[in-house]
Structure 1
């Protein structure tokens, strides 16, 4: 690779032809994003207590950028900037969880893929799930996540660096000799809470964050070693970059997302070019995450479509007067505090806030001496420069992101990671308080968030109450308190909190939480009312449409129910719960074939989703596909041995296949789970009657009717047994007539009517 020939583009904001070079580069490309990683905690950046040999080796073999900045100290917006070359006001992704990068965006993976590269990704956390739009352009997007100890086991939220590396190597090995490739690897380990595995916990005693960074580095080392062993290392462009840093308590911030001080916005950036070009170089100029998009494409000999804010790092990056833009909207969208926007120019940083800030990053790297009052002219110049830059970015805005409405499961997954985004300010932006004045409550709030994720509900409530004592209109503290009360089954108290949230913010996500709370109390009317309000206020809320469809179906409003379910499916085509709900509705309508298709779609999203597997088994049974039905239900039954309904329905399918022994095992398993489950007693009686065990069958039917006296099917079955086997026609007639009275419109009641007349004639 001859780098000098590639130095062709010089403008900060470029407009080029949309076409890209038809041929791929003659080298591979790997981008490794280091979530929540501070530059000043790596050995190559001067941290003497670091254990980061893998990253340090990349610094030796490549270029280290001393002053690299993220665009936002929030994972999803930062990654969107990296892969589009655009600042957040332009691409539109401003926070986690509630935005999606739309298909209209052009991503690095799309450009490289169209040029002929094989593209794959392995991510470490749900915050970058494909549902948020970053999967576009990747042939393979590995997001197989698992629950972490302490997190709610039902929600798959993150995986370790070791598992991410395993997934990346699995994809690389599966490529065979197909080259070149583009691989994105995302490590999440340094994110709070920090619990480094052995031996990294003891390697960095009392410094769990450093331990997580060390463990992450070791797993990056496995990936690099594999490249070296295969001979690919020298012919691979490797970028290792942080998405944002971590405050670790500096400026009163526990984690990240609230402020734009250097601990959370200054990031490590290492670029190793193929063939050892530029090895060992250090660049002091200010660079931004948006610069990676044009850098990678220029190195690959490809042009980029449209105008971008980034510039190629293949140029001479002297400090100059380039202004690098920073922002965080989390204070506003999560807590109802003022958003922060700023810029870094040379060695100066300016932050626009109710109390504006100006810092000399060379003389005051800790950003403790606000120079706004002592240097008013400089502060005014930088304020004007920021205002002009913001105007330019807003003018360039592409509307490439859409707002999302999270279903309850997705919100739970993000909460389990400690993410709390998804709200909006209750007041006008100009009246919002300065985050600096409110930060005292954030530590207590995060204590509550983490306690809730760990299931420590009393501690969580105490933390949220403490926040609300100082900030009674804190929307997220109110809603989180409601979440915790729901977890404790205190629905009435939860409803009080969610109602307060809706009073403060009529379009609040608490509308949906009120629907959930009333649903758990069994109030169909209130549930329906709040669901209807939710879909009116938030028409993109897929889960609300799905739940409303279920209620409407029960109310006999089938046509409207189908409309809402189809809306849910359109809004969330990859939401397994919506797809499962749609299948259930179709099953209720007597359309098992269409239902099975919907369940299959849910399983394409999550092959191990038990509800969809179970329902698919029922649909296959109703279609007469007994072998397929048994296969699916047996798989679910193996994982849920204590689920009486699963075991019972497995028995029904086996009985239909004339496997009476297998059916009996399943029915007994159902009764082991719940000895008062009448359907299993009834079905067990059927098997015993079919195998000539008349007295045992009679006892089973009798048990079913003792538990559920109005069980029409058990009346019919016991009546037939009494008439045909025990020759007790009077007792039989009494049971059959009772069954007919209980279910006069059932298909079987008509046949039993004929049998009753026959008994009377005997």
Structure 2
């Protein structure tokens, strides 16, 4: 019998405890009955067996014998009450004079709300109430005065998704196994704070500031409403603003939701992404903090918190709400030669603020100096509400410390970063932090006396090696006791749209790869010895984002000259050469990346894309089929394999892989749209329309769906509907030249040549190599029968013939010239173009009218 109580089994108990007895649950799950009973008790659940339990026997009070002599019982009670009133009154007076509990404001915790605010990338030492005198954060200061400020709060990992997962589950990455952004998912096994509160009757809403916390990564578990909706399909060029939203938009959505849910109890998670790079504070904070835009972003978010506070006061919700404000990680800002975060585990990126404001200021103006962890937030919230934490929670409640200041916490903190292991093939970093020391387990170990050296500037490992060795053993014990036994999770492959969104956010190398080890068994490099390589990779990413391709290529070539084993550098080079149509160079770089890490599918799929664009379809298909055979759920591989076959006119095969992609990813608007196009090309118009409608339901702004619907309406002869669909396509995709062209053709058929010319001119402006557009533009000028337009017609026809003299539409260009030259009496030129047109027609060059 498997006696282990996993998260999946706990969730099963929570779903079925009402209709199944402990015995039935134990048999179903293969665990002892007593273990089921204990879990129910810890989760405060009833059960089938409890409803039929025998009522407890009534107990009779035993007789009390008086030993007080002439003091009657009534006198004793009266004196005791009088003394109690005096003592309590004195205590309340004294406590009202100092920070601490306010017993006179009793709170009914069964009806309280919870708001959790996470401010991305916020260093604790850049907040005014944490001692930073170069910024004004009056709202955070006021929250600290009205509540509890924790002076030393340690994040478990300096990355957004893993750290938020720890906040929401109360567990370390050792347990939840989310090691990086992009490719890692929060599995359904893990119980989140939102799930616990939802089961207790809370309405739950989350308001997310960046795609890195999109619902696709799994943190939406337990939320009734999850405001993410980061849509990229309408943008030809992706900018940062398309995959993050400013804090005022996040807050506005949160306020509207709170206003509609304020009658009952609610849990709202509000995520402000603004302090994350690039730092672009809005006015007036850009001018208030010249040269310090990071501080400007923090001050902006502080203002938003004040606005939220006012909103809660206006609706009489502030004193009915537990407010928790924290961050997921800090920012390097150049210290330890780290500009951003993720590579190292120094305090610059691991220490974050934590402020808790209790309803009716039940505890106020209290600072707790001892070290706590982000994993302690979930159990603290639940403890305050009187709710037991999930059994797997690895944090502890901090509530006892708020009540008993002399109680010692003594909480060692674990930290890690696998970023450099995942992306560069160097060693991961792990650390343990105590009240006095910080030990970093690296190829070259580090030990810091953080009391004497808070900047972690002097490595004491050699001087105090016994302390370092002791901490290394304690670190190993934490890893052993907090890890999921016997389980490793490799990152999952992500789809193309997701990859584009992460890259737009600045996570250019954040498409997680399987761990890579040195084939020859050599020790992995220490990241602190590779700072120059990290700097150059960051530089290349910035140059790539700014479309400065030449400089980015030079920088990446410098990277691989310093370290020829950086997989991500070769992938980035391949991407840039593909973008520039230098397919031979791209293929060489992708193949080098695959050689370095054969288990990494990203360079394999990108290699296939390069072959596809190179029109070497056989090689592209072979690579993608190999990936799909191992990962049939890989929607990205299915999408591109379908595209390879569609380009060759092999629509049956294309549909097969689009269908497979939709089967495993039914919410993908892109796959549904491509499947619809496949059906259209096969003449299956009803199926095509169904798929295209599904695509638009999932994403009303997706490219091609309205275009394909317009083609369907044209085939049906419903040109009014076709016009409307083409207009919607142009609204979604203003750069889509074919929609302008097809719309122009319809207006030409209706005799509106002015509108036709306007639209087709726009199509060739958008794509100057679109030869078909020039041929039809020439015909439109000729159809006006206005001699003033003949020269424009001649120029358009000649431009089309220059671009593609063997085009199926080339005879049309020649016939336009024949007509004009005949009208102008230029018989020799007319005969020349007539002969050319007939030669092309004999070779089979005739317009098919597809316009797809």
Please give the secondary structure, in 1, of the residue aligned with 2:368. Answer: strand
Structure 1 residues 205-214 or 553-562, which shifts more? 553-562
- Describe how 1:108-187 pairs up with structure 2 within 5 A: 108-145=193-230, 152-153=238-239, 156-173=242-259, 175=260, 178-187=263-272
1:336 pairs, out of 409, 425, 431, with 425
Aligned: 1:436 with 2:522:
no
Please give the secondary structure, in 2, of the residue aligned with 1:268. Answer: strand
Please give the secondary structure, in 2, of the residue aligned with 1:480. Answer: helix
- Describe how 1:312-323 pairs up with structure 2 within 5 A: 312-316=397-401, 318-323=407-412
Flag the 1:506–1:738 CA change in 2: closer, same or farther, 3 A: closer
Aligned: 1:357 with 2:446:
yes
8 Å CA contact 1:678–1:704 kept in 2: the answer is no
1:547 pairs, out of 628, 640, 656, with 640
8 Å CA contact 1:245–1:266 kept in 2: the answer is yes
Kindly name which structure, 1 or 2, has the bigger radius of gyration based on alpha carbons: 2
Alpha-carbon distance, 1:501 to partner? 1.1
Flag the 1:21–1:549 CA change in 2: closer, same or farther, 3 A: same
8 Å CA contact 1:350–1:359 kept in 2: the answer is yes
Flag the 1:536–1:640 CA change in 2: closer, same or farther, 3 A: closer
8 Å CA contact 1:245–1:267 kept in 2: the answer is yes
Aligned to 2:368: 283
Aligned to 1:727: none
- Describe how 1:676-695 pairs up with structure 2 within 5 A: 678=772
Aligned to 1:232: 317
Aligned to 1:535: 628
- Describe how 1:606-645 pairs up with structure 2 within 5 A: 606-619=699-712, 621-622=714-715, 629-638=722-731, 640=733, 643-645=736-738
Alpha-carbon distance, 1:352 to partner? 1.3
Q: Which has the higher contact order (CA 8 A, sep 6+)?
A: 1
Aligned to 2:478: 389
Aligned to 1:3: none
Flag the 1:341–1:207 CA change in 2: closer, same or farther, 3 A: same
Please give the secondary structure, in 1, of the residue aligned with 2:242. Answer: coil
Taking the aligned partners of 1:645 and 1:49, their CA distance within structure 2 comes to 55
8 Å CA contact 1:664–1:684 kept in 2: the answer is no
Render the CA deviation track for 1:691-738: whole Å, top value 9, x for unaligned.
999xx99x99999999688759998xx99xx9xxxxxxxxxxxx9999
Question: Taking structure 1 as the reference length, what is the TM-score of the superposition?
Answer: 0.83
Taking the aligned partners of 1:139 and 1:684, their CA distance within structure 2 comes to 57
1:348 pairs, out of 437, 460, 463, with 437
1:379 pairs, out of 451, 464, 468, with 468
Aligned to 1:253: 338
Aligned to 2:658: 565
Render the CA deviation track for 1:155-206: whole Å, top value 9, x for unaligned.
8222222222223233334x16542222111111111222222221221222
8 Å CA contact 2:212–2:502 kept in 1: the answer is yes
Aligned to 1:481: 573
2:496 pairs, out of 408, 411, 419, with 408
Aligned to 2:53: none
Aligned to 1:732: none
8 Å CA contact 2:756–2:780 kept in 1: the answer is no
Aligned to 2:455: 366
Please give the secondary structure, in 2, of the residue aligned with 1:507. Answer: coil
Unaligned runs of 5+ in 2: 1-37, 47-107, 820-836
Alpha-carbon distance, 1:390 to partner? 1.0
Please give the secondary structure, in 1, of the residue aligned with 2:305. Answer: helix
Alpha-carbon distance, 1:323 to partner? 2.1
Please give the secondary structure, in 1, of the residue aligned with 2:302. Answer: helix
Please give the secondary structure, in 2, of the residue aligned with 1:610. Answer: coil
8 Å CA contact 1:507–1:538 kept in 2: the answer is no
Aligned to 1:450: 542
Render the CA deviation track for 1:639-678: whole Å, top value 9, x for unaligned.
556644212434567799xx765x9735641244339764
Flag the 1:248–1:98 CA change in 2: closer, same or farther, 3 A: same
Aligned to 2:18: none
8 Å CA contact 1:152–1:454 kept in 2: the answer is no
Alpha-carbon distance, 1:17 to partner? 5.0
2:615 pairs, out of 522, 539, 564, with 522
Taking the aligned partners of 2:324 and 2:236, their CA distance within structure 1 comes to 33
Aligned: 1:326 with 2:420:
no
Structure 1 residues 671-680 or 428-437, which shifts more? 671-680
Aligned: 1:665 with 2:758:
no
Taking the aligned partners of 1:57 and 1:316, their CA distance within structure 2 comes to 21
Flag the 1:16–1:64 CA change in 2: closer, same or farther, 3 A: farther
8 Å CA contact 1:344–1:350 kept in 2: the answer is yes
8 Å CA contact 1:712–1:742 kept in 2: the answer is no
Structure 1 residues 178-187 or 33-42, which shifts more? 178-187
Alpha-carbon distance, 1:370 to partner? 2.4
Structure 1 residues 245-254 or 737-746, which shifts more? 737-746
Aligned to 2:31: none
8 Å CA contact 2:743–2:759 kept in 1: the answer is no
Alpha-carbon distance, 1:64 to partner? 0.8
Render the CA deviation track for 1:57-94: whole Å, top value 9, x for unaligned.
21112211111111110101001111111111211111
Aligned: 1:504 with 2:596:
yes
Flag the 1:573–1:328 CA change in 2: closer, same or farther, 3 A: farther
Taking the aligned partners of 1:75 and 1:377, their CA distance within structure 2 comes to 34
Aligned to 1:757: none
Taking the aligned partners of 1:683 and 1:151, their CA distance within structure 2 comes to 28
Flag the 1:551–1:563 CA change in 2: closer, same or farther, 3 A: same
1:86 pairs, out of 158, 168, 171, with 171
Taking the aligned partners of 2:132 and 2:236, their CA distance within structure 1 comes to 31
Count of residues in correspondence between the two structures = 716
Please give the secondary structure, in 2, of the residue aligned with 1:194. Answer: coil
8 Å CA contact 2:669–2:696 kept in 1: the answer is yes
Alpha-carbon distance, 1:560 to partner? 4.7
8 Å CA contact 2:205–2:267 kept in 1: the answer is yes
Taking the aligned partners of 1:380 and 1:642, their CA distance within structure 2 comes to 62
Structure 1 residues 194-203 or 701-710, which shifts more? 701-710
Flag the 1:444–1:325 CA change in 2: closer, same or farther, 3 A: same
Flag the 1:106–1:320 CA change in 2: closer, same or farther, 3 A: closer
Structure 1 residues 307-316 or 69-78, which shifts more? 307-316
Alpha-carbon distance, 1:29 to partner? 1.5
Aligned: 1:674 with 2:768:
no
Please give the secondary structure, in 1, of the residue aligned with 2:268. Answer: strand
8 Å CA contact 2:327–2:353 kept in 1: the answer is yes
8 Å CA contact 2:570–2:590 kept in 1: the answer is yes
Structure 1 residues 451-460 or 248-257, which shifts more? 451-460
Structure 1 residues 296-305 or 379-388, which shifts more? 296-305
Flag the 1:441–1:409 CA change in 2: closer, same or farther, 3 A: same
Alpha-carbon distance, 1:383 to partner? 1.4
